C-alpha cells in the first residue's frame, strides 16, 4: 500500500498558486489531461492539495461510500455559504433524515402536476418569440427554467417582482461561486465589488425564500408544490418530527440554485448541439411532429419522445452542467492502492469520466443514438450527471422530465439557427454553461404522422 505522498502530482503547478491558472484558463482540457498521470492525481488549489479521482470504478466506490467520502472540500465549503446545510449539501450524519423528509416532494405521484407547470412555463416562452427574432439562448433558458422552478416550488405565490429579484440574485451568486472557490481568506471578505455583489445577492435570496416559507407555514394550505410537501413532511421514523424552518429554507435555496442553472445550461447546450447536427435535428423534428402535431409536450407524451430524451441524455454526457465536485475523507481509507488520511480533499469530474475514450466511443462526438436500446450501453459508473449512491441527485427524474418537455415543445414550434458571430463558447464555472450564444428563431410547420427518424449514423 502506497502512502499519500506517492500520489503523482499534475504538472504545471506554480509555487504559490498551484494549478489555479490552468483551472481558471482551460479547466476542461486540464481535467482531461489528468488520467495520463494516474488513477489518482494530486492538484493544488493554492496551499490546498486535492486528489482528483480519474478512474470510473474508483469514482463509483467513492460515491457509494458517502460515509467516508463525505460532501466537503473547497466546492462544498463555498456552496454551504450560500445554501447552508440542506439535503444537497449537508454532511453524512444529517443526510439520511433530510433525504427521508425531502423524498415525498419528488414522489412519482406528484410528477404529473409538476409537469403541467413545466408545460405551461415553456409554452409561455415559445409564445413570446416571433419569426426571425434573435434570442439570447442562455438568457431565455434561464428565464424559462426559473419560471418552472418557482412554479413547482411556490405555485403562484411568488409575486412577479420577487421572482425577478430571485433570478437576478441566483445569477449573481452562481457566476461568482467558482472564482470564490480559489479565494483564500481574508481575500473572500475584502470589500471588493465582486464580494459585495455576491454577499448582497446571497442575503436577498435567503430573505426572499424565508418570507415565502413564513407565509406558507402561517397559511397551512397544501398548494401541491414542492414547498407544501417540505412543510408537511414528517420523518417516517418519528412521525412528530419534520424539517425546521432553517432546514426548509436551505433545502429550497439548494433546489433553486440547482434547478435553475443546471436545467438552463442543459437546454442551451441541447439547442446549440441540435443546430450543429442537422441529421439529429431532423430526427427530433420528425418525432415531435408525429407525437405532438404542433402542441406543447405534456407528461403523457414522454414515453413517445424517446429520441428527444436521448438528446438530453447525450447533452448531459457531452456537457454535464455539474462538471467538478469535491468530497472530504472522514477516516483513513484506501483507494486505488493509496492510503488517504482523514481530512484529505478529493474531487471527481463527470466531464472527465464522460470524455474517456475507453468508456465512450468517440467521446467528443454528439451521438444521441449511442443511448438507443439497440446499442451497447456504457457501464453505469461511466455516466454520472446526477452522481450515484445515497447522494444521487434527489431531483434527477424531475430534471429529465423538465428538460425533455422543454426541448420537445420548443422543437415542435421553432427551429433555431446559429448567428455567425455569436455561436457560443463553453465556460466552466460552478456549472458548465454556454455564453454568447444568440440564435435566430424560425417557425416550423408540424408534419402530422411523420415517422421519427435520426439520420445521424452511429456504429
pLDDT at 232: 86
To which residue does cell 439529429 refer?
A: 280
Over residues 363-374, the pLDDT tens digits come to 999 999 999 988
Mind spelling out the 3-state secondary structure of the chain? CECHHHCCECCCCECCCECHHHHHHCHHHHHHHHHHHCCEEEEEECCEEEEEECCHHHHHHHHHCCCCEEECHHHHHHHHHHHCCCCCCCCHHHHHHHHHHHHHHHCHHHHHHHHHHHHHHHHHHHHHCCCCCEEEHHHHHHHHHHHHHHHHHHCCCCCHHHHHHHHHHHHHHHHHHHHHCCCCCCHHHCCCHHHHHHHHHHHHHHHHHHHHHHHHHHHCCCCCCHHHHHHHCCECCECCCCCCHHHHHHHHHHHHHHHHHHHHHHHHHHHHHHHHCHHHHHHHHHHHHHHHCCCCCCHHHHHHCHHHHHHHHHHHHHCCCCCCEEEEECCCEEECCEEECCCCEEEECHHHHHCCCCCCCCCCCCCHHHHCCCCCCCCHHHCCCCCCHHHCCCCHHHHHHHHHHHHHHHHHHEEEEEEEEEEEEEEECCCEEEEEEEEEEEECCCCCCCCCCCCCCCC
pLDDT at 405: 98
Of 19, 95, 28, 61, nearest to 324 by C-alpha is 28
pLDDT at 9: 95
| Ranges of the chain whose pLDDT falls below 50 | 447-459
pLDDT at 280: 98
Cβ(120)–Cβ(409) below 8 Å: no
Cβ(165)–Cβ(190) below 8 Å: no
Cβ(31)–Cβ(41) below 8 Å: no
pTM over 0.75? The answer is yes
Q: Which residues contact 365 (CB under 8 A, 6 or more apart)?
A: none
Over residues 53-78, the pLDDT tens digits come to 999 999 999 999 999 999 988 777 77
pLDDT at 31: 94
Amino acid at each position: 500500500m502506497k502512502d499519500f505522498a506517492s500520489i503523482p502530482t499534475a504538472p504545471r503547478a506554480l509555487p504559490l498558486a498551484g494549478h489555479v491558472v490552468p483551472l481558471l484558463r482551460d479547466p476542461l482540457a486540464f481535467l482531461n489531461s489528468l488520467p495520463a498521470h494516474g488513477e489518482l492525481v494530486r492538484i493544488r488549489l493554492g496551499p490546498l492539495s486535492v486528489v482528483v479521482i480519474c478512474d470510473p470504478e474508483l469514482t463509483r466506490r467513492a460515491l457509494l461510500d458517502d460515509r467516508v467520502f463525505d460532501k466537503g472540500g473547497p466546492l462544498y465549503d463555498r456552496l454551504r455559504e450560500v445554501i447552508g446545510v440542506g439535503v444537497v449539501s449537508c454532511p453524512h450524519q444529517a443526510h439520511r433524515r433530510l433525504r427521508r423528509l425531502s423524498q415525498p416532494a419528488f414522489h412519482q405521484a406528484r410528477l404529473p402536476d409538476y409537469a403541467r407547470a413545466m408545460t405551461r412555463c415553456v409554452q409561455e416562452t415559445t409564445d413570446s418569440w416571433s419569426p426571425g427574432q434573435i434570442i439570447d439562448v442562455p438568457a431565455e433558458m434561464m428565464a424559462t427554467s426559473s419560471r418552472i422552478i418557482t412554479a413547482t416550488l411556490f405555485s403562484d405565490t411568488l409575486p412577479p417582482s420577487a421572482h425577478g429579484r430571485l433570478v437576478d440574485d441566483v445569477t449573481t451568486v452562481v457566476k461568482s461561486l467558482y472564482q470564490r472557490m480559489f479565494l483564500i481568506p481574508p481575500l473572500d471578505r475584502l470589500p471588493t465589488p465582486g464580494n459585495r455583489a455576491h454577499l448582497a445577492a446571497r442575503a436577498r435570496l435567503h430573505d426572499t425564500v424565508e418570507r415565502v416559507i413564513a407565509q406558507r407555514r402561517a397559511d397551512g394550505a397544501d398548494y401541491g408544490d414542492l414547498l407544501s410537501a417540505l412543510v408537511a413532511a414528517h420523518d417516517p421514523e418519528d412521525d412528530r418530527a419534520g424539517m425546521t424552518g432553517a432546514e426548509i429554507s436551505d433545502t429550497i435555496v439548494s433546489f433553486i440554485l440547482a434547478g435553475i442553472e443546471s436545467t438552463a445550461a442543459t437546454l442551451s447546450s441541447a439547442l446549440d448541439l441540435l443546430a450543429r447536427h442537422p441529421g439529429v435535428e431532423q430526427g427530433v423534428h420528425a418525432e415531435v411532429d408525429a407525437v405532438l402535431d404542433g402542441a406543447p409536450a405534456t407528461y403523457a407524451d414522454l414515453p413517445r419522445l424517446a429520441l428527444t430524451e436521448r438528446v438530453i441524455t447525450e447533452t448531459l454526457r457531452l456537457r454535464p452542467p455539474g462538471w467538478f465536485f469535491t468530497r472530504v475523507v472522514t477516516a483513513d481509507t484506501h483507494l486505488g492502492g493509496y492510503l488517504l488520511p482523514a481530512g484529505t480533499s478529493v474531487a471527481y469530474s463527470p466531464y472527465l469520466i464522460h470524455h474517456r475514450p475507453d468508456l465512450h466511443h468517440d467521446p467528443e462526438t454528439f451521438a444521441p443514438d449511442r443511448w438507443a436500446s439497440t446499442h451497447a450501453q456504457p457501464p453505469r459508473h461511466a455516466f454520472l450527471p446526477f452522481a450515484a449512491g445515497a447522494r444521487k441527485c434527489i431531483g434527477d427524474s424531475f430534471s429529465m422530465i423538465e428538460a425533455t418537455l422543454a426541448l420537445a415543445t420548443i422543437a415542435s414550434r421553432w427551429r433555431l439557427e446559429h448567428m455567425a458571430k455569436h455561436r457560443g463558447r463553453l465556460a466552466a464555472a460552478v456549472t458548465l454553461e454556454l455564453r454568447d450564444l444568440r440564435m435566430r428563431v424560425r417557425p416550423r410547420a408540424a408534419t402530422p404522422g411523420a415517422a421519427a427518424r435520426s439520420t445521424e449514423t452511429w456504429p
